[in-house]
Amino acid sequence: MEQENVQCLIIGSGPAGYTAAIYASRANLSPVLYEGLQPGGQLTTTTDIENFPGYPEGTTGQQLMDDLRAQALRFGADIRAGVATAADLSGTPYRITVDDGHELLTRTLIIATGATAKYLGLEDETKYAGMGVSACATCDGFFYRKKTVAVVGGGDTACEEATYLAGLAAKVYLLVRKPFLRASKIMQERVMNNPKITVLFEHNATGLYGEDGVEGVHVVKRLGQADETRYDIPIDGFFLAIGHKPNSELFRPWLQTDETGYIITEPGTPRTNLPGVYAAGDVADPHYRQAITAAASGCKAALEAERFLKQ
Ligand code: NDP
């Protein structure tokens, strides 16, 4: 296997990875960045971005990521297509194997592998991707002002997204598969007391319909029970809020993670439990999950790597 020594290896090409690459290359760390399975990350699956500072007219997710990539390239970042397939962080230098046949030996490692929103697995979620199906209310809620939307899920995220959407939309249905919410009490109360939100317990979405975008959702009430009923609810937007999966599998043997798999970092920093290993962006952030917060943590990770290498 071909081996290569680097000072700073970045895995992942969302806002965290590219921002880390911009800072690390400007600090002459000659960073190598592997883009992973989805070059540009989750933002490339959304449409318009209107809340990233510096774009008064808004931009698209793809354009934002193209711009960040171009900015990293301008300062000499070595950006490569490839997916990390194995990691050995048992000693230094840290070893990462990539699917292009490389093994990289690195003194500093920035993990910016992101998280993946969970979907129900319906064919219609793919069919209507970017046409009414979203897994991020903060990103896409604005496009549903005065419209009707459905949110799927019964946890804190679902309640938070439903409440956020209720501030914009005319009507929000919360589709909960169980007869109760799993969310914290305060979030439950917020949802139950919001006149714009109707909580439909024991409801599962089975499909979507519409000509040029989502016009409604097929639901089943009390699935598998004697009184099971199927009906349609007209909606304009369908939001998934059934959890995210942080992409941390490769690193879990060596890094502290929470029960879901989010990498635990020292509060306010991207430092993990291993010196020279940093986690930036959604892989370490179950709470904010914004492009701008991911970019900020990528910046911090590169500054940490620079200081570490100077020691
Ligand atoms: P959770 O795992 O807590 O909740 C997921 C929800 O989605 C559950 O209600 C679950 O149903 C439902 N669900 C899962 N799969 C399906 C499916 N296939 N069909 C229908 N429903 C499904 O995830 P969250 O993202 O809500 O929260 C993750 C963590 O982040 C939690 O610890 C949460 O407390 C925290 N968080 C905190 C916030 C805050 O404090 N402001 C905001 C957001 C998140 P079921 O109950 O039946 O399993």
pLDDT per residue as tens digits for the range 49-59: 888 999 999 99
Residue 151 pLDDT class (50, 70, 90 cuts): very high
294 in Cβ contact with 285 (< 8 Å): yes
309 in ligand 1 pocket by Cβ < 6 Å?
no
Rounded to whole angstroms, the Cα distance separating 173 from 190 reads 14
245 in ligand 1 pocket by Cβ < 6 Å?
no
Question: What's the mean pLDDT in 163-173?
Answer: 97
| CA-proximal residue: ligand 1, atom 33 (nearest) | 156
pLDDT for residue 63: 95
In the block, residue with structure tokens 């910046």: 299
Could you report the per-residue pLDDT of 190-244, keeping only the tens digit for each?
Answer: 999 999 999 999 999 999 999 999 999 999 999 999 999 999 999 999 999 998 8
Based on its alpha-carbon atoms, the radius of gyration of the chain, rounded to whole angstroms, reads 21
Ligand 1 atom closest to the Cα of residue 178 is 47
246 in ligand 1 pocket by Cβ < 6 Å?
no
Could you report the per-residue pLDDT of 48-101, keeping only the tens digit for each?
Answer: 788 899 999 999 999 999 999 999 999 999 999 999 999 999 999 999 999 988
Q: 63: which 2 tokens?
A: 């354009």
Rounded to whole angstroms, the Cα distance separating 255 from 274 reads 7
Ligand 1 atom closest to the Cα of residue 121 is 18
Could you report the per-residue pLDDT of 22-39, keeping only the tens digit for each?
Answer: 999 999 999 999 999 889
pLDDT for residue 51: 87
Strand order in the sheet with 171-175: 133-134, 237-240, 148-152, 171-175, 197-200
pLDDT for residue 48: 76
pTM of the predicted model, to two decimals? 0.79
- Percentage of the chain lying above the pLDDT 90 cut: 89
Residue 253 pLDDT class (50, 70, 90 cuts): very high
Please list the residues that pair with 237 across neighbouring strands: 149
pLDDT for residue 44: 83
Mutate to test the pocket of ligand 1, among 138, 160, 182, 258 (most ligand atoms within 8 A of CB): 182
* Residue 19 identity: T
C-alpha torsion 274→279→283→287, nearest 10? 110
Reply yes or no on whether 136 is catalytic: yes
186 in ligand 1 pocket by Cβ < 6 Å?
no
Question: How far are the Cα atoms of 165, 197, 256, 270 from residue 266, in angstroms, in the given order?
Answer: 32, 38, 11, 7
Mean pLDDT, rounded, of the chain: 96
Of 8, 124, 140, 156, the active-site residue reads 140
